[in-house]
Amino acid sequence: MDPGCLKLSLPDSDLQESFDLASKLSAERAMTVSPLVWKIKRGLNIGSEKKLKEAIKKVDILAEEVIIQKRKNDFSSQNDLLSRFMRNMDDDKLLRDIIVSFLLAGRDTVASGLTTFFWLLAQHPRVIDEIRAESSRVMVRREKETLASFEEIREMHYLTAAIHESIRLFPPVQFDSKFCQEDDTLPDGTFVAKGTRVTYHPYAMGRMEGIWGKDCLEFNPERWLEDGVFKAQCPFKYPVFQGGVRVCLGKDLSIVEMKSVALALIRQFDFQVHVATKEQAPKFMPGLTATVRGGLPIMVQERREQ
């Protein structure tokens, strides 16, 4: 089901506007002086909470339509993730929430990661040269092709390193929270009572000298390479995709998405960030994902040398 969000001939999508508004207002709850403020507004159905309720209703309608369409197409023989869920449960409300979580996890996060990646690339032309050189080596028999195959993308270790280094500095989800289900004790001996909210901050952790060394603020893809081969870091040192039993289900898919899009563009175009934008780090809007305020002003030119 395609809501047509990117078709220039169509007006702005209700789904897109509602989804963005719901994300923004949900995140702004954490910025209130006290949770009582938004809870009272929700109880009285006024202000931002009224807008949030209306936005969520529109998103839910689309999610319910997805379920209806899927049932019409005999999901029993299909192997996509939603079909697998539908074969194992009959709770439409839970299925609706699963679809919304798919959208929330996969829609804005990849866009956010790519936006800051190109901002970094425009300031580090050396990295662009390395990515192009690597792709030429890997795709030597298909040099004229724009799109790499899945097998070829897997062989591009420098590109993988550059993507991971970018989202170390600018993780799409800058902080996250968990609630303790039972009394527990952290490895350092800290007691955590049942029901306690524990928040961790990947954005801050990616910039800590004690974790990443004195060059923690530098964009350096080589830190992920060992003899030219990509080497993953401990997920608890690099919690961009969480870790343990709660590791992100879409981790591999999102990395492949980012690599595919980035490589196709890097092979065809040159990028130049506006001078004013280049001198300052991106500023982010309130939201569940790190959306760059005002987008990224950038000049894109087709490469003369292919």
Q: Residue 31 has which token pair?
A: 């910025």
248 known ligand binder: yes
Helices then strands, each counted (H, E), the chain? 13, 8
Q: Please name the residue that has the structure tokens 């809870």.
A: 39
The backbone region for 23, taken as left when phi is positive above 0, alpha when psi lies in -120 to 50, beta otherwise, is alpha
Count the helix, strand and coil residues of the chain and give each as a percent rounded to the nearest 5. Answer: 55, 10, 35
DSSP H/E element including 273: strand 269-273
Q: Which residues contact 20 (CB under 8 A, 6 or more apart)?
A: 287
Q: Which residues contact 115 (CB under 8 A, 6 or more apart)?
A: 282, 292, 295, 296
DSSP H/E element including 270: strand 269-273
Query: Tell me, what amino acid is at 175?
Result: F
Cα 69–75–78 angle (5° rounding)? 125
CA distance 64 to 58: 10
Query: Tell me, what amino acid is at 58?
Result: K
What is the residue-wise DSSP string for 166-204?
HHHHS-SS--EEEE-SS-EE-TTS-EE-TT-EEEE-HHH
Which residues does the annotation place in the binding site? 248
**Annotated binding residues for heme:** 248
